[in-house]
Chains A and B, each alone.
Chain A
Amino acid sequence: MAQSKTPERPLSPHLQIYRPMLTMMMSIIHRATGIALYLGVVLLVWWLTGAATSDQYFDMVQGFFGHWFGRLVLFGFTWALLHHALGGLRHLLWDTGRGFDLPVVELMARANLGLSVVLTIVLWIIGYGVMA
């Protein structure tokens, strides 16, 4: 019987080999923000169950989110949410078969990045306005 031998097949280049491109980075960031939001929702459920538990426990939860570290986490959550939501809009457009021309793809990637940062800052200005 013939010896079965794994043929020498060419390997797909690893991530480090590719020159980082905007669209590729956006794809990675979309997935990364999705994973970050997963953890953020765990915090949201913690906040909800805390509010359903007792005054003392909820004060502790609110204290965490009011602390500089908690605010930093919330700031990151805000940006991840906006970036992922805007990225989702791009995907919904692509699902209709539109928006695949390279200049359009590049423009949408830049708009996604820029808008996510701008909207995050706007929401936080509103947030500090509400707190004041």
Chain B
Amino acid sequence: MSMRTPLGKVRGLGSARDGTHHWWMQRVTAIANLPLMVFLVIFILSHLGATRAAVLASLANPFVAILLALTMISVLWHMRLGLQVVIEDYVHGHATKLGALLANTFFTAALGVAALYAILKMSFGL
């Protein structure tokens, strides 16, 4: 005998009301990260010990700036989802868990906005 209501079964969202969204976005960002990491590694290798002028010159190219922005968005999203699972597994108190989850979200959002601000500022030559 199932305790699930027919409506709950059809929605398929489970007790967390989130369905497979978390799992799916982890996979989507993982797949996006693969080519973006190839780009990031090449970008870092070509700026080892570079002067600021050289970095600014690279970011003046819109393709470099856009790829770097996409990289930061995908990576930060992926790592937010990843650390969320770690927190849910190891932090047990309700208040501490909620606090840690919020801190993870706020911190990755702040990092993302700071990174995008820096990329755009340099790319626009401001």
* Chain A interfacial positions (CB closer than 8 Å to B): 31, 34-35, 37-38, 41-42, 44-45, 48-49, 51-52, 54-55, 58-59, 62, 66, 81, 85, 88-89, 91-92, 95, 123, 126-127, 130-131
Given the known interface contacts A48-B119, A95-B27, A123-B41, the answer about A35 and B83 at a Cβ–Cβ threshold of 8 Å is yes
Could you tell me the dominant secondary structure of chain B's interface residues? helix
Given the known interface contacts A37-B79, A58-B52, A127-B48, the answer about A85 and B37 at a Cβ–Cβ threshold of 8 Å is yes
Chain A to chain B contacts (Cβ below 8 Å), 22 pairs? A37-B79, A38-B83, A41-B76, A41-B111, A45-B72, A45-B114, A48-B72, A48-B118, A49-B114, A49-B115, A51-B56, A51-B122, A52-B117, A52-B119, A52-B121, A52-B122, A58-B51, A58-B55, A88-B33, A127-B48, A130-B45, A130-B48
B75 CB contacts on chain A under 8 angstroms = 41
Given the known interface contacts A35-B86, A37-B79, A52-B121, the answer about A62 and B41 at a Cβ–Cβ threshold of 8 Å is no
Given the known interface contacts A31-B86, A85-B37, the answer about A38 and B79 at a Cβ–Cβ threshold of 8 Å is yes
Are B82 and A131 closer than 8 Å at their CB atoms?
Answer: no
Question: CB of B61 within 8 A of chain A?
Answer: no
Chain B interface residue count: which class?
20 to 34
A-contacting residues, B62-85, CB 8 Å: 68, 72, 75-76, 79, 82-83
Question: CB of B30 within 8 A of chain A?
Answer: yes
Which partner residue on chain B sits nearest A74 by CB separation?
Answer: B44
Question: CB of B49 within 8 A of chain A?
Answer: yes
Given the known interface contacts A49-B114, A52-B118, the answer about A85 and B83 at a Cβ–Cβ threshold of 8 Å is no
Q: How far is the CA of A89 from the CA of B118 in the complex (A)?
A: 31
* Chain B interfacial positions (CB closer than 8 Å to A): 27, 30-31, 33-34, 37, 41, 45-46, 48-52, 55-56, 68, 72, 75-76, 79, 82-83, 86, 111, 114-115, 117-119, 121-122
Are A34 and B45 closer than 8 Å at their CB atoms?
Answer: no
Are A131 and B79 closer than 8 Å at their CB atoms?
Answer: no
